[in-house]
Amino acid sequence: MRVDQALKWIEREVKKGRAFVLPAGSHYVANPMYSFKDRLAACRDIGELEGFANRRRFNATLIKWTPDQRDAIIRRKLEMENMN
Which sign does the torsion angle of CA 29, 30, 32, 38 carry? negative
Condensed to tens digits (0 to 9), the pLDDT of residues 26-56 reads 666 655 667 899 889 988 899 999 999 999 9
pLDDT of residue 31: 59
What residue segments make up the domains of the chain, in order of their start? 3-83
Measured CA to CA in angstroms, residue 83 lies from 19, 37, 44 at distances of 43, 19, 12
Condensed to tens digits (0 to 9), the pLDDT of residues 5-32 reads 888 988 888 888 887 777 776 666 655 6
C-alpha 45/C-alpha 68 separation (Å) is 21
What is the average per-residue pLDDT within 73-79? 95
Query: Which residues are CB-contacts of 75 (< 8 A; sequence separation ≥ 6)?
Result: none
C-alpha 36/C-alpha 40 separation (Å) is 6
Predicted TM-score (pTM) above 0.85: no
Stronger pLDDT, 83 or 65, i.e. the higher one: 65
